[in-house]
Amino acid sequence: MSAARPTVELAAALFDLLTHTLERRTRELSIGGTATLFTLWRGGPRRATTLAAIEGVTPPTMTALITSLERDGLVERRVDPDDRRASLVALTESGKAYIEARREAHIAQLVAGIDDLPPALRSELTSAADAVAALAHRLGDT
């Protein structure tokens, strides 16, 4: 394993833990749109009402957001196999590619910042990431 690999793994772990607190400025999508795509990427297809609750918006706001994302080809609505009257929102291949590209770009930014840290601070950051992961697990966030 190269010396850079642990840094990449740490950066990836931090990114996954902090996606809701990282600034996500994109030219193509709003922060809400990007956050919704990340939620679908992490958790798979969900009902619009569930997405609204997770993202902290009203159901009509989420419906409008989903319609916009669907028009952009990033999500699709599917019949819920558990309740054929309901639908699930799922990432399309384009939506998945978009989120994975955004994630990789943020990881690269974190890698650059982590690489600039002195070894002692990098070690502290690793411990802090472990602590945050344990907290997220306890809170049921992972």
What is the rounded distance in angstroms from the CA atom of residue 107 to the CA atom of residue 90? Answer: 24
Does 125 fall in a domain? yes
* Residue 83: how many other CB atoms lie within 10 Å: 10
Element (H, E) at 69: helix 59-71
111: amino acid identity, one letter? V
Model pLDDT for residues 82-114, shown as the tens digit of each residue: 999 999 999 999 999 999 998 898 889 888 889
Does 119 fall in a domain? yes
Does 10 fall in a domain? yes
Q: Which domain CATH number covers 69?
A: 1.10.10.10
Does 141 fall in a domain? no
Residue range of the domain that includes 32:
4-136
Q: What is the pTM of this model?
A: 0.70
Give me the number of domains the chain comprises: 1
How many helices (H) and strands (E) the chain has is answered by 6, 2
Does 142 fall in a domain? no
* Residue 107: how many other CB atoms lie within 10 Å: 20
Does 97 fall in a domain? yes
Q: In angstroms, what is the C-alpha Rg of the chain?
A: 17
- Whether 107 and 8 have beta carbons less than 8 Å apart is answered as yes
Model pLDDT for residues 51-69, shown as the tens digit of each residue: 999 999 999 999 999 999 9
